[in-house]
Structure 1
Amino acid sequence: MQQRECQDGSAVIRFRVVGCVLLLAHLLLVAWVSLRPRDVMWVTATNLTPLAGIKADLALGPLAAAHQIGEGLLLLAPLGVLLPLAGGRLRVSPFASLVRTVLAGALISLAIALLQTAVPGQVPDVDSLLLNTAGVALAHLAVVPAGRGALRRRSRRERPAPLVREEPSQGRTPTIPRVGIAP
C-alpha cells in the first residue's frame, strides 16, 4: 500500500513538472510573438471598444476574418490545458477548474496587453483580450474534463484492492454508568 502511494505521488510530480516546463515554454513563445518591437510606418489606434475589431475583421471577408479571429483564439489556447496540467489535480470540481483557468488566462492576456503599451509598433486591443480568454476556455472545455476522467479511470483500474486487516474482537466495549451530581 505504501509503495502505491509513492508511485501516485511521483506520477503527480512528473505531471506537474512537465506541465510547468511546457507552460513556461509556451509563455516565452507568447512573449516573443506579442512583445517584440515591430518596424512599421504607421500603427492603428488602440481599440478599447469591445467587438469593434471583430466586426472590422468580419467586414474584410470570411477568409481574412477566420484568420484574424483564429489567431486571437489560438494564441493563449494552450493555457487552457497547461495551467491545469501544471496544477496536477485529478479530483477537482470541473466548474472551479474552468473558472480558475479562464481567470488566469484573462489575467495573462491583460498583462500582455498592458505590456504592449510600452513596445513600439505593438497596439493593445480589447478584442484580443476577449479572443484569448475565449480560446483558453474552449481549449479547457475540449480537453481537460475528458483527460481527467481518463486518468481517474486509469488510476482506479491500476489501484490494487485495499488490504483490510480485521482485528480480533476483544468483546463488548464496557460502559460506565452515569454518576449524578452531588448535592
Structure 2
Amino acid sequence: MQRQGSIGGSAAIRVRVTGGVLLVAHLAFVAWLMLRPLDVPWVMPANLRPFATIRADLALGGHEAVRRLGEGLGLLAPLGVLLPLAHGRPCVSTFASLVRTVAAGAMVSLGIALLQTGVPGRVVDVDTLLLNTLGVALVHLAAVPALRSRLRRRAERLGGSAVRQEDAAQGRTPTIPRVGIAPWSDALPPSSP
C-alpha cells in the first residue's frame, strides 16, 4: 500500500536513498571543515550580539564582504534541498516543509557552533548561525517547490497507470451498506428467569 503523498514504489526509495547519502556526505564535509583545529596565534572573542559580525563584514566592503557573507550563507545551504530530498514526499505543504527544513538547518548550525567551543582556534558566532539558517531557507525556497511540482507531474504521468493496474489486480474495495444501530432490547442477550 502506498503512503499518502509519497512517490511511487522504487522511485521513492531511490529519491530517499540518494537524498540520505548526499545529506550524510555533506554533513561529513561540513563537520570536517568546521571542526578542525586552527593553528592561529590569537583568537577573537565569541560574538553573541546578533548582526555585529555581519556589520563588520559589510564595513569591509567589496569582494571581501561578499566572500565572508557568501561563506556563511553557503555552508549549510545544500540542506535546504537535501533534507526534503531525504524525506522524499512530493505532496507536502510548502510552508510546513520550509519550517521543518529551516528548523533542522538551525539545529545543525547550533550543534556545530556548540561543538566548536571545544575546538582550538574556533569561536562561537551568532551571526554564523543566522547566515547558515538564512542560506538553508533561501535554497529551500528557490529549489524545493519547483522540484516537488516536477516530481508530482512525473509521478502522475508514470504512476497513474501503475496505480490503476494495482487496483485492478486487487479488485475493487468492497463497500458495506450503512448499518443501523439496534435498540438495547434487541442487542442484549435474553435473560433467564
1:153 aligns with 2:139: no
Find the residue that maps to 2:22 and give its secondary structure: helix
Find the residue that maps to 2:164 and give its secondary structure: coil
Whole-angstrom distance in 1 between the partners of 2:79 and 2:140: 8
1:124-143 matched pairs, under 5 angstroms: 124-143=124-143
Equivalent residue letter for 1:26: H
Using the TM superposition, give the Cα deviation of residue 156 of structure 1 relative to its aligned residue in structure 2, in angstroms. 1.1
The aligned counterpart of 2:94 is: 94
Equivalent residue letter for 1:10: S
Whole-angstrom distance in 2 between the partners of 1:125 and 1:61: 20
The aligned counterpart of 1:21 is: 21
Equivalent residue letter for 1:162: R
Using the TM superposition, give the Cα deviation of residue 162 of structure 1 relative to its aligned residue in structure 2, in angstroms. 3.1
Find the residue that maps to 2:80 and give its secondary structure: helix
Find the residue that maps to 1:43 and give its secondary structure: coil
Please, what TM-score do these two structures have when normalized by structure 2? Answer: 0.81
The aligned counterpart of 2:48 is: 48
Q: Report percent identity of matched pairs.
A: 62
Whole-angstrom distance in 1 between the partners of 2:71 and 2:57: 12
The aligned counterpart of 2:191 is: none
1:116-127 matched pairs, under 5 angstroms: 116-127=116-127
Equivalent residue letter for 2:89: R
* Unmatched runs of 5 consecutive residues or more in structure 1: 168-172
- What whole-Å deviation, never above 9, does each CA across 1:96-126 have from its counterpart, x for those lacking one? 0000000000000000000000000011100
The aligned counterpart of 2:80 is: 80
The aligned counterpart of 1:63 is: 63
Whole-angstrom distance in 2 between the partners of 1:157 and 1:19: 22
Whole-angstrom distance in 1 between the partners of 2:101 and 2:56: 29
Whole-angstrom distance in 1 between the partners of 2:8 and 2:59: 53
The aligned counterpart of 1:170 is: none
In the comparison of the two structures, how many residue pairs are matched? 169
Whole-angstrom distance in 1 between the partners of 2:106 and 2:54: 18
Using the TM superposition, give the Cα deviation of residue 154 of structure 1 relative to its aligned residue in structure 2, in angstroms. 1.1
1:104 aligns with 2:118: no
- What whole-Å deviation, never above 9, does each CA across 1:28-83 have from its counterpart, x for those lacking one? 00001100000000011100000000000011112111000000000000000000
The aligned counterpart of 1:30 is: 30
Whole-angstrom distance in 2 between the partners of 1:162 and 1:60: 62
Whole-angstrom distance in 1 between the partners of 2:32 and 2:164: 50
- What whole-Å deviation, never above 9, does each CA across 1:114-156 have from its counterpart, x for those lacking one? 0000000011100000000000000101110000001101111
The aligned counterpart of 1:162 is: 164
* Unmatched runs of 5 consecutive residues or more in structure 2: 187-193
CA RMSD of aligned residues (A): 2.5
